[in-house]
Structure 1
């Protein structure tokens, strides 16, 4: 039985094709019947801040209004953090500071907002970094601390090193591919422990990365990202139907056992267990 607890991991700028070719541990979970794999088409513009908001609220940029990375304000939508808290669940995040600016405080105050432990905030337990090269290994260690010490019902984890290396070296580089391998290793070291604790797992990305070392456009490389789901509520098979990114938030609500917001689209993702 599901414990209605969820860890959502959004790996910034992870392309679908590179995830399939270089994430050996995640594919192992699929082959062993422990996870499902999907291909997701992101919203556009395929930029980070707009798509953080899309993933966490289930609304497109034209609705939520975060249409570029330079828009710094709190979200006007009901996010997964708000909905989980309203349902009596505890929330946490180990993430880039833009997530804090969307849901806890904007603008980010670098001197005091890195560690946020506030039961009245949408993200009750937040550990936020503000440099793109901040090591993913440190971030996953912080996520493990949140699991061990705060025992959240909903934990959001957002590593940035894949995006950072993609911008520095392009998606067609040894560095980008090796970074995806390194991220897969971090998942191998952490996911089994979290799954043993009863957490459902979502691993996805906000957008992809091009051979020009950028993103924001309408190409497959810009928009197509992976989705891995480890949950008894989802059949553990490879799904070949492309899924809209607007499905991520209602999917998370389904796994958490909470009601979605009225702004979210109906949950139509294939492979759900009745």
Structure 2
């Protein structure tokens, strides 16, 4: 089995909307090629704190990244730092807050938008700073990174679902249709990712509410999906916490680490 992983974080995607609207991913489930788990995100249910949680396994109230306005480097080992430190190639097509957490802060667009530096935790990056940056363009950015550099770990982080939720709310056709669009984008790439030996995880940082926001404890804000695709997974019933995503990716990558992980969703 290959030790390469693609982690897709569809920002702001609520679990129920993912369950109801993502026909391609559910088609893979019906063919027993993918499995969907329900996760409860950590608190506060906000973006930057949960990027840090997903990528380090550390809850926001422990990491100190407790709101979106805290602009600094992470104080914890991440998937990126562990992979880079153990000779793996890392890449990300992601919102610029990810660059600030793991490469350089504050983000400077001219310097950081296109990153290629093997000394950084994220060695190859395409970072954006517009919430409306098209998901279709972001997936193209990611695929270009993948084909050029064959990263062992690739993060793909589009923003349009979250941006649409902030404009129209959870219970809107615009929000649901944006989730459907992300599913279509994924359908253009997943088969080639699998053919190149990647294990794939598709999740979200947080959900959305009808106040056009998130950050609290409502189920619609906290419940998020995790789709897993590939031979590295057990595809059996199991549970996984958001704090275990980091360690689970590290296990798939074959890294030495001390992060918590969800053994039961991994192939024996």
TM-score, normalised relative to structure 1: 0.95
Q: CA deviation at 1:88?
A: 1.1
Q: CA deviation at 1:87?
A: 1.6
Q: Within 5 Å, give how 1:117-156 maps onto structure 2.
A: 117-156=116-155
Q: Is the 8 A contact 1:30 1:236 kept in 2?
A: no
Q: CA deviation at 1:96?
A: 0.2
Choose the corresponding residue for 1:253, options 250, 255, 265. Answer: 250
Q: Which residue of 2 aligns with 1:43?
A: 42
Q: For the residues of structure 2 that align with 1:258 and 1:141, how far apart are their CA atoms?
A: 28
Structure-2 change in CA distance of 1:273 and 1:242 (3 Å):
closer
Q: CA deviation at 1:194?
A: 0.7
Q: For the residues of structure 1 that align with 2:4 and 2:223, how far apart are their CA atoms?
A: 27
Q: For the residues of structure 1 that align with 2:85 and 2:103, how far apart are their CA atoms?
A: 15
Q: CA deviation at 1:208?
A: 0.3
Q: Which residue of 1 aligns with 2:267?
A: 273
Q: CA deviation at 1:212?
A: 1.3
User: Which consecutive residues of structure 1, in runs of 5 or more, have no partner in the other structure?
Assistant: none
Q: Within 5 Å, give how 1:90-109 maps onto structure 2.
A: 90-109=89-108
Q: Which residue of 2 aligns with 1:167?
A: 166
RMSD: 1.1
Q: CA deviation at 1:204?
A: 0.2
Q: Which residue of 1 aligns with 2:177?
A: 178
Q: For the residues of structure 1 that align with 2:27 and 2:45, how far apart are their CA atoms?
A: 29
1:207 aligns with 2:206: yes
Q: CA deviation at 1:242?
A: 4.9
Q: CA deviation at 1:233?
A: 2.3
Q: CA deviation at 1:78?
A: 0.3
The count of aligned residue pairs is 268
Q: Which residue of 2 aligns with 1:53?
A: 52
Q: CA deviation at 1:269?
A: 4.8
Q: CA deviation at 1:17?
A: 0.4
For residues 157-194 of structure 1, what are the alpha-carbon distances to aligned partners after superposition, in whole Å with 9 as ceiling and x for unaligned? 00000000000000110100000000000000011111
TM-score, normalised relative to structure 2: 0.97
Q: Which residue of 2 aligns with 1:70?
A: 69
User: Which consecutive residues of structure 2, in runs of 5 or more, have no partner in the other structure?
Assistant: none
Q: For the residues of structure 2 that align with 1:172 and 1:71, how far apart are their CA atoms?
A: 30
Q: CA deviation at 1:235?
A: 2.2
For residues 21-53 of structure 1, what are the alpha-carbon distances to aligned partners after superposition, in whole Å with 9 as ceiling and x for unaligned? 000111111111111110011100000000000
Say which SS state the counterpart of residue 226 (structure 1) adopts: strand
